[in-house]
């Protein structure tokens, strides 16, 4: 028996709910928070329960959502308001525990094990939080109560909106094991499809599978899934001051116009990599590899990645690797609509790495000193004070703003 009491609180239809809280006249209407059609970000970012019942889904094109729901009201996102509400919710959670770990803007894990003597059981605390979020913020939450993070999150997903679900250590097999394997944390579409190929359709069947077989299928992630399915997750909820280690840093954009040649793609890679290099430097990190995502005009997405010869913060090296991956792998059957570049396999700025005999260290050091100078100039005079001359040539095909910044933490800390 673990004795832990873990909550996962998920604010329902968060963006849409905040909009309705700020604008009461929108309540009771089918509402969707949507990106801008003019800048080709015209997709549904969030929807209300009424819109959901009409078939509107997150990620759906604006025009498609309106076809399904002719009465749909669409509003642009107001991220500063969402951040404000997110911060207020976390302050409310900290009334009950210092162990509050954000998982996105609208979700948090809470370890209330040491709070039960003061506030009652995990269910009692969940009920108090649910009521206080509703009365003080005008929002609703779904809360999962369990003895580990995986099942707490699964519980919050089981009943929505405005609900509490408890999964106990004694009874989880009856509740969890009949569910589809795809409901389990980290079982995505591709993993679920591969599991079905071997007759594994439910979480219970995943729990009963051989760990050796799952390791053979998915590597160490297979063992993690087996652990989760069997209710053996022991990952801690980190306290409020903990900073999750960053696993990747990236930027992505949807281009104003489709790209139809390599030089246009190169300019986008170079532009995105400037921001990545800056973020790496600010976080005292270096990129050991590069990953790219390419979305074509038919909205199909391909992903490619590769290692760098030497870990770096130099945006030109990151952009060159992105271009190499693109040129090697993209078939140009369709024009390119969107691109994302990510720095992966991150190392600390002082962390040692194994070098090969053929690396030109002096050249690399000169390049990074040059980048340091460029960063200093940009810090004084603005981001556009110094940039690559090639970005002046031809169309940049970039929107006026870019809202796809990605700084991805590790998920569960052991």
Alpha-helical (H) ranges within 294-360 are 315-329
CATH for 177-229, options being 1.10.150.20, 1.10.1060.10, 3.40.50.850, 3.40.50.620: 1.10.150.20
Residue 5 CB neighbour total at 10 angstroms: 22
**Residue 353: active-site member:** no
Cis peptide, bond prior to residue 161, ω within 30 of zero: yes
Question: 375, 313 in Cβ contact below 8 A?
Answer: no
Please state the rounded mean pLDDT for residues 59-85: 93
pTM above 0.85, yes or no: no
Q: How confident is the model at residue 408 (pLDDT cuts 50, 70, 90)?
A: very low
In the chain, what are the helix, strand and coil shares in percent, each to the nearest 5?
A: 40, 20, 35
Closest residue by Cα to residue 84 from 110, 106, 99: 106
Q: How confident is the model at residue 355 (pLDDT cuts 50, 70, 90)?
A: low
Please state the rounded mean pLDDT for residues 86-109: 95
Question: 345, 287 in Cβ contact below 8 A?
Answer: yes
| Cα(154)–Cα(253) distance, integer angstroms | 32
- Annotated catalytic residue: which of 19, 101, 107, 375? 107
In the three-class reduction of DSSP (H, G, I as helix; E, B as strand; rest coil), residue 60 is classed as coil
Would you state the pLDDT for residue 405?
45
- The two tokens of residue 75 are 């509003």
Q: What does the domain layout of the chain look like in residue ranges? A: 14-79, 177-229, 246-409
Q: Do domains 14-79 and 246-409 have the same CATH topology?
A: no
Could you read off the pLDDT of 218-259 as tens digits, one per residue?
999 999 999 999 999 999 998 877 766 788 999 998 888 899
Could you read off the pLDDT of 170-192 as tens digits, one per residue?
999 999 999 999 999 889 888 99
**CATH number, span 14-79:** 3.40.1170.60
């Amino acid at each position: 028996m673990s004795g832990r009491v873990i909550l996962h609180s998920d604010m329902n239809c968060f963006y849409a709910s905040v909009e309705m809280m700020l604008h009461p006249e929108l309540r009771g209407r089918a509402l969707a928070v949507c990106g801008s059609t003019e800048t080709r970000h015209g997709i549904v970012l969030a929807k209300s329960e009424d819109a959901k019942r009409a078939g509107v889904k997150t990620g759906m094109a604006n025009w498609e959502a309106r076809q399904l729901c002719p009465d749909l009201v669409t509003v642009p996102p107001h991220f500063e308001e969402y951040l404000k509400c997110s911060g207020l919710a976390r302050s409310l959670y900290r009334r009950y525990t210092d162990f509050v770990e954000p998982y996105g803007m609208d979700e948090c894990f809470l370890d209330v094990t040491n709070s039960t003597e003061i506030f009652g059981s995990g269910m009692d605390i969940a009920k108090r939080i649910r009521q206080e979020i509703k009365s003080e913020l005008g929002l609703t939450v779904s809360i999962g109560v369990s003895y580990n993070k995986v099942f707490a999150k699964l519980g919050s997903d089981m009943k929505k909106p405005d609900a509490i679900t408890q999964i106990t250590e004694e009874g989880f097999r009856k509740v969890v094991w009949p569910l589809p394997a795809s409901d389990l944390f980290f079982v995505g579409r591709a993993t679920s499809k591969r599991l079905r190929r071997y007759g594994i359709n439910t979480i219970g069947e995943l729990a009963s599978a051989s760990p050796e077989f799952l390791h053979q299928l998915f590597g160490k992630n297979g063992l993690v899934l087996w652990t989760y399915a069997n209710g053996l997750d022991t990952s801690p909820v980190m306290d409020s001051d903990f900073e999750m280690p960053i696993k990747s840093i990236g930027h992505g954009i949807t281009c104003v116009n489709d790209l139809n040649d390599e030089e246009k793609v190169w300019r986008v890679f170079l532009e995105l990599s400037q921001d990545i290099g800056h973020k790496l430097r600010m976080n005292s990190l270096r990129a050991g590899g590069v990953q790219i995502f390419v979305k074509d005009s038919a909205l199909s997405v391909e992903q490619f990645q590769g290692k760098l010869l030497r870990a770096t913060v130099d945006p030109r090296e990151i952009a060159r690797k992105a271009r190499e991956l693109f040129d090697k792998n993209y078939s140009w059957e369709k024009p390119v609509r969107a691109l994302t570049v990510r720095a992966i396999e991150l190392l600390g700025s002082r962390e040692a790495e194994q070098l090969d005999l053929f690396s030109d260290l002096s050249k690399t050091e000169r390049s990074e000193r040059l980048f340091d100078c460029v960063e200093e100039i940009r810090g004084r005079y603005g981001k556009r004070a110094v940039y690559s001359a090639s970005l002046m040539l031809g169309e940049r095909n970039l929107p006026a703003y870019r809202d796809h910044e990605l700084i991805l933490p590790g998920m569960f800390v052991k």
